[in-house]
Structure 1
Amino acid sequence: MIAAALTFAFACYGLALLFNLWRIMRGPTSADRILALDTMVINIIALLILYGILRGTAVYYEAAMLVAMVGFVSTIAYSRFVLRGDIIE
């Protein structure tokens, strides 16, 4: 039963990643692209967690934490770049 649930979850998050890519390419404003990038990071974190459950190892949980930290910093940096034109003050 867990295998079917994991397969369904992988399919849903994979579809969500495709929608995020579409929004990044076709987003009318920079804010749409920033939000799609942030949502893509969240979906990648979810996929890493699901893969860790599937494999039964804790290594992917640590990788998910690293992706979360890098995703947060990249979202803040991209937002500052769009608003101010530079990242470092």
Structure 2
Amino acid sequence: MVQAATNSSLIGLALPENRETLLTENEVAYLTRQSPRTLQSLRLRGGGPVYLKLGRLIRYRSGDVRAWLESQRRTSTSDPGAQAGSEVP
């Protein structure tokens, strides 16, 4: 007979210790000083940080947001940097 798992039996098993925080769209918007609408637009065009779609929810891994921010670094205004569509407006 298979016993249903309880929430208490799953504590500590769901994610490894080195897990990354999942951020909401609003949290990423706040951290990157952009509006949620800008993030939505970037997703539509294929730019912005890599995201997860969990059902109807959009989540961002903290490491992916950090990596995207690093990819936006420039040394001058003439530095083309990333491909079109992935730059911060």
TM (normalized to structure 2)? 0.24
Structure with the larger strand share = 2
Structure with the larger helix share = 1
Rg larger in 1 or in 2? Answer: 2
TM (normalized to structure 1)? 0.24
